[in-house]
Amino acid sequence: MGQINDMRRIILTPAQIKKAEGYALDGCQNNTICTLMGWDDNFIDQKPDIRKLLTKKRAERKLKLYKAQNSKALTGNDTTMQIWLGKNVLDQADKNETKHSGEVTLAAPTIT
């Protein structure tokens, strides 16, 4: 119990906070950040303010990724991204339609 109380009393410097934020913006999870910062494995779990801040930074990362994806898709330069956004944002799906031509079956994927 004493170790948990000790972790709660540790005050991080602005430089440490900025570095941890940077790791979160890069997509690192809490256990990775703890290792890189030299903290105990459960340090972030014991610091609700830091945990909340890192969660916010990861959300900012997601927003940046979404914006980059949308930008690529909207400029028409990335067909793969357009398909991904169609499936994941617009709820589109690939459907295989089967057409019979004699004894040969042809499958043509379509997006609905």
DSSP string across 61-107 = HHHHHHHHHHHHHHTT--HHHHHHHHHHTS---EEEEEEEETTEEEE
Q: Percent of the chain scored above 70 by pLDDT?
A: 77
Residues 70 and 82 in one domain: no
Extract the tokens encoding 3.
């170790």
The answer on 72 and 22 residing in a single domain is: yes
pTM across the whole model:
0.63
Above 90 in pLDDT, residue 24? yes
Query: Residue 12: helix, strand or coil by DSSP?
Result: coil
- The verdict on 57 and 88 lying in the same domain is no
Per the structure, the complete domain to which residue 108 belongs is given by 78-112
Q: Are residues 13 and 57 in the same domain?
A: yes
How many domains does one find in the chain? 2
Per-residue pLDDT at 33 = 97
Q: Which residues pair with 94 in a beta bridge?
A: 111
- Looking at the structure, tell me whether residues 43 and 95 fall in a common domain: no
* Residue 82 and residue 59 share a domain: no
Q: Find out whether 16 and 37 touch, Cβ atoms under 8 Å.
A: yes
Same domain, residue pair 72 and 102: no
Backbone φ, ψ for residue 17 (5° rounding): -65, -45
Query: Span 85-93, mean pLDDT?
Result: 77
Side-chain half-sphere exposure of 38, counting CA atoms within 13 A: 3
User: Do 71 and 87 reside in the same domain of the chain?
Assistant: no
Whether residue 91 sits in one domain with residue 50: no
38-86 pLDDT tens trace? 999 999 999 999 999 999 999 999 888 888 878 877 887 777 877 777 7
